[in-house]
Chain A
Amino acid sequence: MPSQPSYFDELCTAMALLGREPNTIFMGQAVAVPGTTMADTFRKVPNEKRLEMPVAEDMQMGMAIGMALSGYLPVCVFPRWNFLLLAANQLVNHLDRLPLYSDGGYRPKVIIRTAVPSAHPFNPGPQHDDDFTGAFRRMLRTVKVETLSHASSIVPAYAAAMRADHSTLLVEYTEQYKKERGNVRFA
C-alpha cells in the first residue's frame, strides 16, 4: 500500500502548484536562499519567482498589497507568528481593511504563509513560540485564516486560497515536520 504524502511533501506540492500560476511571486526571508524550516519547500518554485526580502516585515506586507493591486498574486512568507506580528499594521489596517474603506474599489489578494513552531523537546522561547491564530481571526474582517492541521488539508487549502476572491492567511505547524523527520535541523 503506497504511503501517504507527508506534511512536508504536501507543502512542497502546494508551493509547486502556486509556482505554476503565471502571476505568483514568492516573497520573504529565506525564499530564495536557505535559512528556515520553510526554505526547502520552495525547491520546485522557479527561481525567477522568488523575491528575497530585507528584514522589514511591515514593508514586505505593504509591498505585497501594491503588487497585488498591479495584478500579481504575492505569496508572502513569514516563518513565525512572532515575526508576522511586525507586519500587523499592513495586514490589519490595510490588506484587511482596504476593501472596506475603498467600498470594494481595491481588493488586493495576497496569500500569507506563517507557522507555529514545535516547542517540545526543543523550545525556541517566548519570543519565537507563539500561535496568534485566534487573536488574528478576531482582528481580521476580510482576510480568511486557515489552519493546516493535517497533511491532507494543505493542498486543498492553498488551491482554495488561489481561487478565492479574498486574501488568505495559512498557518502551518512545524511540529508536523518534526513528527515526520524525528529530528530538528537548524542550517
Chain B
Amino acid sequence: MLNAEDLIAFEREIAAEFEAGRIKAPVHFAGGNEQQLIDVFRTISPRDWVLCSWRSHYHCLLKGVPREQVKTAILKGRSIALCFPQYRILSSAIVGGICPIATGLAWAIKERGGPERVHVFLGDMSANTGISHECVKYCAGHDLPVRWIIEDNKKSVCTDTRATWGELTPAISLTCYDYKLTWPHVGTGQWVRF
C-alpha cells in the first residue's frame, strides 16, 4: 500500500501541472489526512465500492488505481468527479450526490447476498445535509452493507460547519401524537362523476 509520502508526492506533482496551466479544470487538492485515509483503506477490499466527492485523488490511489491513470484523468479535467469503474470508484462533484447511489448499490448487494461493502466518504457539511440523513437512516433501517466515513475539516469551502448549523447533535424534543385517519388519503373513497 502507498504511504503518506507517496500521496503527498503525487499531489505535489499534480500541483505543478496545475500551476503550469496544463489542467484546464478545477482541482481540489488533498492534504493533512494521509495517515487517516491509509488507516481507513486497510479495511477496504478490492471488491468493495468506494464513493467519494470532489477531493478524491488519495482515495483513488489507495483503492489501487495506478498513479498514471489517476494523473491522466486529472489532466483531462476530471479531477472533481473521478470515476474508475474497474476499481469500483464513483465520485460526484455535487454535495451529498453519492449518498443515494451508495444506498442503491448496497441494496443490490444485500438483495443478492454479496460479500462486498460500500464505503462512502463525506465532508462534515455533506454529512449534515438532508439527503445524507435520509440515506444513513434507510441503510441503518434495512441493515445495508454501507460504511459512512466523515472527513471532518470543520468547514465547507470557507464556511464554518458548526457555526452555521449550531450544535450538530442537539437533544431534539418533538411533539408527536398517534391517530388513525377515518377517511382515505384524499376524497371519500367513492367514485365521483362530474
Inside 8 A of A68's CB, which chain B residues have their CB?
104
Contact bitstring A95-106, B, C-beta under 8 A = 1, else 0: 000100111011
Output the residue of B101, B112, B185, B191 with the most chain A CB within 10 A. Answer: B101
Known: A69-B101, A183-B193, A184-B192. 6 other contacts (CB 8 A): A64-B104, A65-B100, A65-B101, A66-B101, A183-B191, A187-B184
> Chain B residues near A106 (CB, 8 Å)?
83, 85, 90
Q: How far is the CA of A135 from the CA of B138 in the complex (A)?
A: 31
A/B interface sample: 25 pairs, CB < 8 A: A59-B131, A62-B100, A62-B135, A63-B101, A65-B104, A66-B102, A66-B105, A66-B106, A67-B108, A68-B104, A69-B105, A70-B105, A71-B108, A98-B83, A101-B78, A101-B81, A103-B78, A103-B83, A106-B85, A122-B194, A183-B191, A183-B193, A184-B192, A185-B187, A187-B184
Q: Is the CB of B100 within 8 A of A63?
A: yes
CA distance A158 to B101 in the complex (A): 24
Does A2 lie at the interface of the complex (its beta carbon under 8 Å from any beta carbon of B)?
A: no
- A72 within 8 Å of B (CB atoms): yes
Within the assembled complex, what's the spacing in Å between the Cα atoms of A147 and B103? Answer: 30
- Chain B residues engaging chain A, CB cutoff 8 angstroms: 76, 78, 81, 83-85, 90, 92-94, 97, 99-109, 112, 131, 134-135, 138, 184-194
Q: In the complex, which residues of chain B have a beta carbon less than 8 angstroms from the beta carbon of A71?
A: 108
Q: How many A-B residue pairs have CB under 8 A?
A: 115
Which residues of chain A are near B131, meaning CB under 8 Å? 58-59, 62, 89
Is B100's CB under 8 angstroms from A61's CB?
yes
The answer to whether A94 touches B135 (Cβ under 8 A) is: no
Q: What residue in chain A is nearest B97 (Cβ atoms)?
A: A94
Q: Please tell me the number of chain A residues within 8 Å of chain B, measured between CB atoms.
A: 36
Given the interface pairs A102-B85, A106-B90, A183-B191, the reply to whether A90 lies near B100 with Cβ below 8 Å is yes
Q: Scan residues 73-97 of chain A and give those whose CB is less than 8 A from a CB of chain B.
A: 89-90, 93-94
Alpha-carbon distance A58/B188, docked complex (angstroms): 31
Contact A62 B187 (CB under 8 A): no
- Using a CB–CB cutoff of 8 Å, the interface residues on chain A facing chain B are 35, 54, 56, 58-72, 89-90, 93-94, 98, 101-103, 105-106, 121-122, 182-187
Expressed in whole angstroms, the Cα–Cα distance for A177 and B97 within the complex equals 36
Q: Is the CB of A56 within 8 A of B138?
A: yes
- Least CB distance from B93 to A in Å reads 8
Q: Which residues of B contact A59 (CB under 8 A)?
A: 99-100, 103, 131, 134-135, 138
Chain A residue at smallest Cβ distance from B95: A89
Chain B: minimal CB distance from A111 (Å): 15
In the assembled complex, the CB of A82 is this many whole angstroms from the nearest CB of chain B, namely 15
Please tell me if the beta carbons of A66 and B134 are within 8 angstroms of each other in the complex.
Answer: no
Residues of B within 8 A of A89 (CB): 94, 97, 131
Residues on the B chain within 8 Å of A187, using CB: 184-185, 187, 189
CB of A3 to closest CB in B, whole Å: 21
Pick the contact of B97: A63, A67, A90, A105 (CB < 8 A). Answer: A90
Contact of A70 with B92 at beta-carbon distance under 8 Å, contacts A105-B83, A182-B193 already known = no
